[in-house]
Amino acid sequence: MTIEQILQDIRSDRVKKVIYDGDFSAEIDDQYALAYAMGSDKMEVLSINAVAHFEEPMAANTRQTMLRSYCELEILLDSLGIDARQYPAYHGPSIQLTNSPDYAPVDCPSARNIIEISKKYKDELIYVLTTGPCSSVVNAYLLDPSIKDNICVIGWQVTFPLQRVPSLSMSGIYIPTSALQR
């Protein structure tokens, strides 16, 4: 698919099929972006992937940050009064690809989710909206390169001035505000 075809699709009235991929335990941008996507009449959120946050100091235990991200997602859906079964959620990779032997793909539920949705909707363009590291989609591509035919990855960031807020996640996991000042 060419960039022109993708831009034409983005501008069209077609409701976009979306896989949301976020590191919900890092900053709160993921929660806002997901809520926006779920409330949009231009997007159909098919599933949600919860991934690890790979930046220090949280990167010391990527499995733990991925699990925190998943728990944060559950808290978000509950806070919004949404039945979690409405949006299938998947764990992202528990290790960084760069820590995998010989850079072998990490076979994880989020990567398999992307592959399955790509196959299910093989005649449609599927958007992976990511507000975190692209670890799920990179591993999905390494496991099955054919997904490139109908997957478009969009890095999505919601920014707003939160430097005065001491805790930036819904579960109370402390995120230093210095991390926002880049």
Of 92, 100, 88, residue with least CA distance to 50: 92
In this structure, what token pair is assigned to residue 90?
């998947």
Distance, in Å, from the CA atom of 106 to the CA atom of 83, rounded to the nearest integer, reads: 29
CATH of the domain at 108: 3.90.245.10
Distance, in Å, from the CA atom of 60 to the CA atom of 148, rounded to the nearest integer, reads: 31
Rg of the chain over all Cα atoms, to the nearest angstrom: 16
- How many structural domains is the chain composed of? 1
Please report the DSSP string for 102-164 in residue order.
GG-----HHHHHHHHHHHHTTTS-EEEEESS-SHHHHHHHHH-GGGGGTEEEEE-------TT
Q: How many CB atoms lie within 10 A of CB 73?
A: 25
Whether residue 62 is contained in a domain is answered as yes
Of 132, 114, 133, residue with least CA distance to 122: 114
Whether residue 181 is contained in a domain is answered as no
pLDDT of residue 55: 64
Please, are residues 76 and 173 in contact by the beta-carbon 8 Å criterion? no
Is the pTM for the entire model greater than 0.75?
A: yes
User: Which tens digit of pLDDT belongs to each residue from 42-74?
Assistant: 999 999 999 887 665 555 677 888 888 898 889
Cα separation values, 91 from 16, 21, 69, 109, Å = 23, 10, 9, 6
Whether residue 170 is contained in a domain is answered as yes
Distance, in Å, from the CA atom of 36 to the CA atom of 25, rounded to the nearest integer, reads: 18
Whether residue 112 is contained in a domain is answered as yes
pLDDT of residue 20: 94
Domain of residue 13: give its range: 3-176
Distance, in Å, from the CA atom of 71 to the CA atom of 68, rounded to the nearest integer, reads: 5
Q: Report whether pLDDT(180) > 80.
A: no
pLDDT of residue 46: 97
User: Which tens digit of pLDDT belongs to each residue from 88-145?
Assistant: 999 999 887 777 777 788 899 999 999 999 999 999 999 999 888 888 999 999 999 9
Tell me, rounded to whole angstroms, the distance of Cα 19 from its chain centroid: 7
- Among the listed ranges 2-11, 15-24, 113-122, which one has the minimum average pLDDT value? 2-11
